[in-house]
Amino acid sequence: MQGFDYEYDGRFLPLNYEEMKMKGWDRPDFVYVIGDAYVDHPSFGPAIISRMLELNGFKVAFISQPDWKDNDSISIYGEPRLGFLVSAGNMDSMVNHYSVSKKKRKTDAYTPGGVMGKRPDYATVVYCNLIRRKYKNVPIIIGGIEASLRRLAHYDYWSNRLKHSIIVDSQADILIYGMGERAIVEVAEALDSGIDIKDVSFIDGTVYKAKNCDALVDYIKLPEFKELTEDKLNYAKSFKVQYENTDHFTAKTLVEKYNDHQYVIQNKPAAPLSEAEMDRVYSLDYTRTYHPSYEAEGGIPAIEEIKFSLVSNRGCFGGCSFCALTFHQGRMLQTRSHKSIIQEAEKMIWEPDFKGYIHDVGGPTANFRHKACEKQKKYGVCKNKQCLFPKPCENLVIDHKDYLELLRKLRELPNVKKVFIRSGIRFDYLISDENREFFKELCEHHVSGQLKVAPEHISDNVLSKMGKPENSVYRRFCDEYKKINDELGKKQYLVPYLMSSHPGSTMKDAVKLAEYLRDLGYMPEQVQDFYPTPSTISTCMYYTGVDPRTMEKVYVPISPHEKAMQRALIQYRNPANYDLVHEALTIAKRTDLIGFDKKCLIRPRKNDKAFKPGEKSNASHKNGGKQGSNSKNKKTIRNVHKKTKK
């Protein structure tokens, strides 16, 4: 179309006033303010939500990455007929901006050209306050991962304090948590019918504010916000209740009081989508790419990871403590039909830049393709029992036949050279399958030299806090993987994802992991340091010092220096980590690993006169380096040592 310095064919929803007028609209029903660039692909939440509204007859226009310092940036369409939708984007804005060490990231994959700084910190709150300054009474509905995981009082790692529910700080009217397809249409229809936004309090999968809870019948009253700030154990207790009420079948309404006239009320989660509903969501009229206006700026880097990938499922019954999926997508698995996935693939394989490789077929966990057990279909997930941890439940259905059949169909499509699985294989589920047919075809057809898996750690003490299986299960998987590849005549390797500084990990546990890597002959190029993001069991442990499931105390590596040492141990061969590794081994009383023996991790310094090979050490051992020479660092070592002993 004319009037643009890019080619706009009308398939995208409007990104500016001129595009809206070209569609013949006077004004939109909803203005969708997002922290990401506008990408019309079903791997991006705003694309799904906007297309679902379009399917139901609503007009949606986008404002992408507005200038939050300019009030007028939010009013390019005027006041929408029904309200504003707000999302920080596909990531929490703080995770998007900062590494676990709280250092500013250099690039943003969800911004044109990968440029950093196009969205504010705590983007949902900032955008909503910007809207509220301009439009005092317009309805504001928030959603996306940032809002979903901050829907009730939560620990915020970046400010190191407990924060209000995001619906309080943002001044929004309704918060939609979870994936939101059903809830957003119900909210839109309620507003369209003339119901006041303050009366839209009856929709599953939403959170709202009220002056009292007189209208509620069956609900659970959580500790008040003041009580949470007064005692961390109250937060642990509250979190446990929240965790036990994340399933549509069994959850109750939760109430969190802020003062005598302000209550935050969380309705039970929305029901899982049926296969037919999942198919409909992914069959909508997506363009499957970013808005053409971004082409001149270098496009959107994030599209490269998902453009030739296929989503086959949602939800996860894996139950890892450090994962927020339980709070966002839930533990109930939802799947698409083979027909739906094949139809999407058949469109994808004829795109001009398709090179013959489908990058992924999966979801949170690739090899989950059905509900964990039959009883979940009627009763939902167990409140106080995991499907895979500490051992697979006796009711767990372990079967890869459906997933294997799907992969075979995709391999047979024209133009397809290889089908990869990037979203992760749950190895404990796989090794529990007595039928090795899928395992064999995985190695034969879906691995290209290396298979990425996530044992996360090798210390059973740490694994128990992570909600992961014992290390012996991973060793069995490794043995079987090698055996199958040997039979196939293939030289293929495992690339383990490992995590340092998770709650429960003492310095001795970190040394144990380093010894494992030494014996394996492998040093990972990247290390995942535990990142305390909102609404995970592990983050609750990090903040409170207890496991909310049992209320037992948990050792937590909190100081940045201790976390750096644990991370350095995983990469002990890197010369830049020498001082940190030396200090860590001293604290753990493992200077027997400093020497010239093949079992040693590092060699002693030439000028270390006090060192004797194989000598056991204590925290005051002189390490001959700059770190050990100043009194401040010696105090840090003593404090860390005391915590480790405890």
Answer yes or no: is pLDDT of 617 > 60: no
pLDDT of 626 higher than 80: no
Average pLDDT over the chain, rounded to an integer? 93
How far apart are the C-alpha atoms of 500 and 456, rounded to whole Å? Answer: 8
**pLDDT reported for residue 2:** 52
Give the per-residue pLDDT at 522: 87
pLDDT-based confidence at 613, cuts 50/70/90?
low
Q: Is 130 exposed, middle or buried (0-12, 13-18, 19+ CB in 10 A)?
A: buried
Q: Tell me the per-residue pLDDT of 324-363, one tens digit each, with 9 for 90 and over.
A: 999 999 999 999 999 999 999 999 999 999 999 999 999 9
- Binning pLDDT at 50, 70 and 90, where does residue 526 land? confident
DSSP state of 34: E
Residue 546, amino acid: V
Q: Are 207 and 177 in contact (CB under 8 A)?
A: yes
What was the pLDDT predicted at 9? 85
Pairing type for strands 30-34 and 83-87 reads parallel
Specify the pLDDT at position 632: 40
Residue 466: is its pLDDT beyond 50? yes
Return the structure tokens found at 268. 């039970």
Which domains does the chain carry?
Answer: 17-209 (3.40.50.280)
For residue 172, is pLDDT > 50?
Answer: yes
Q: pLDDT tens across 26-36, in order?
A: 999 999 999 99
Lowest mean per-residue pLDDT among 326-330, 420-424, 548-552: 420-424
623: pLDDT confidence band, cut at 50, 70 and 90? very low
Per-residue model confidence (pLDDT) at position 608: 67
Whole-prediction pTM value? 0.92
Two structure tokens written together for 130: 């910007």
Of all residues in the chain, what percent carry a pLDDT higher than 90?
89
The pLDDT-based confidence of 525 (bands split at 50, 70, 90) is confident
**Tens digits of per-residue pLDDT, 80-101?**
999 999 999 999 999 999 999 9
Q: How far is CA 342 from CA 285, 384, 422, 441, 607, in A?
A: 16, 37, 18, 19, 65
DSSP structural state of residue 630 = S
Could you tell me the pLDDT band of residue 605, with boundaries at 50, 70 and 90?
A: confident
| Cα 416 to Cα 358: distance, rounded to the nearest angstrom | 7
- Arithmetic mean of pLDDT, 303-328: 95
- pLDDT for 612: 55
Q: Which of 214, 216, 130 is nearest to 170 (CA)?
A: 130
Using the predicted structure, report yes or no on whether residue 443 has a pLDDT greater than 80.
yes
Residue 239 clears pLDDT 90, i.e. is over it: yes
**pLDDT of residue 641 exceeding 50:** no
Q: Does 554 have pLDDT greater than 90?
A: yes
Is 70 exceeded by the pLDDT of residue 1?
no
Distance CA 501, CA 508 (A): 11
